[in-house]
Structure 1
Amino acid sequence: MAMVLWLALGLLLGGCGAAALEENVGLGGVTPEAVVESFLEDINAALADPALNETATRQMWANRLASYFAPGERADQRQAMREMLDGFASANTRPARGSRAEVTISYDRTRVLRADERTALVEIVNAVMTVRWRDNEGNLLLERSGALLRLIGREESGLPVIRVDGRWYLTEAG
């Protein structure tokens, strides 16, 4: 799921500070909805960070974003997040239009579609990824939006989460 999100973000862009976390520490969430909402909030914060062109800042965000995933998936997710952030920062030095691009993910709410003791599927209601290209003065030149789950290639209508040691985490499984 996350790898596809970052690939979609890279294609969308090209075509038209928090503390670093240790490997064994995970943000997760107390509910399935909470982990999805916090993850999306941090993606938006990472992509809007004015220091994202700095290597250390991208690594810090990659660590933080990966910590929302199940412990066994974090190493792969850390790499995927780092590649996504590197690609975004690089693309923003020479955007398809104007002088910079902004990416935001917006949605109305989240809700659990199905759940058991260990897994859940969380719908992101009306989730949209928007890219805005701006000129040097901040004027909007072009805006493109698309349904988030369609852009990331999810066939199901939600994101899978898993419970580990009483906390909920995003997962590739599902």
Structure 2
Amino acid sequence: MRMKTFHYLFIIWSVLLWLLVGCGAAALEEDTGLGGVTPEAVVESFLEDVNAALTDPLLSEATARNVWANRLASYFAPGERADQRLVMQEMLDGFARANTQPARGVRAEVVITYDRTRVLQIRESTALVDVVNAIMTVRWRDNDGNVVLERSGALLQLIGREASGLPVIRVDGRWYLTEAG
């Protein structure tokens, strides 16, 4: 069975692992979905939870990574969650593994920042959401918490999005991230 992947998130996770290693660098039910009341809300909430997951002090534990993978996957359309759960699990597992022995310093941290979100286009059940000035930053820190090395890049460029923005879809009155688009 060919599994669909959320292509640009997979690329960001690959870039993240590359930066960490190569460059020197509440459990949810399956049918529960966080989604959002607006297209912007689902994107903002997802990015906040990605940041929270990557800074969770318990992320080195498999149980915590599983909880986060379920939560992050719940931002996707219901039919895409199983695939996204696997993608999120792989990303979090890889991040936790790479962060046990980062190429620089004693730990790495990743944060996604942005100014705001805005809808670029909206149709009856689909929308494209721009994440204005979105930057992904990786910082390697020493034992004292000092930054040893820092790398940043435009989020949408790093994840290989040719079109501006992230696609979302409305299902049963709520908005979710989607692979489509």
* TM-score for the superposition, normalised by structure 1: 0.97
1:110-129 matches, within 5 Å, as 110-129=117-136
For 2:157, the aligned partner's letter is R
Q: 1:14 matched to which residue of 2?
A: 21
Gaps of 5+ in 1: none
Question: 1:60 is matched with which residue?
Answer: 67
User: Which residue number corresponds to residue 108 of structure 1?
Assistant: 115
Does the CA contact (< 8 Å) of 1:2 and 1:172 recur in 2? no
Q: Which amino acid aligns with 1:105?
A: I
CA distance in 2, matches of 1:7, 1:172: 17
What pairs up with 1:61-80 in 2 under 5 angstroms?
61-80=68-87
AA in 1 matched with 2:55: A
Classify the secondary structure of the residue corresponding to 2:162.
coil
Indicate the SS of the match to 1:114: strand
Runs (4+) off by over 3 Å:
none
State the 1:21 CA deviation. 0.5
* TM-aligned CA deviation for residue 15 of structure 1: 2.5
Q: Which amino acid aligns with 2:175?
A: W
**Amino acid corresponding to residue 90 of structure 1 in structure 2:** R
Percentage of matched positions with identical amino acids? 76
Amino acid at match of 2:121: R
1:5 aligned onto 2:12: yes
CA distance in 2, matches of 1:153, 1:15: 19
TM-score by length of 2: 0.93
User: Cα deviations across residues 129-171 of structure 1 (Å, max 9, x unaligned)?
Assistant: 0000001111110000000000000001100000000000000
Aligned pairs for 1:86-101 within 5 A? 86-101=93-108
Distance in 1, Cα, partners of 2:12 & 2:96? 16
Equivalence for 1:32? 39
Aligned residues: 172
Amino acid at match of 1:165: D
Whole-angstrom CA distance in 1 between matches of 2:19 and 2:41 = 27
Matched residue type, 1:7? S
Aligned match of 1:150: 157
Contact 1:131 1:145 in 2 (8 A): yes
Structure 2 regions of 5+ residues with no counterpart?
1-7
Counterpart-to-counterpart distance in 2, 1:72 and 1:8: 26
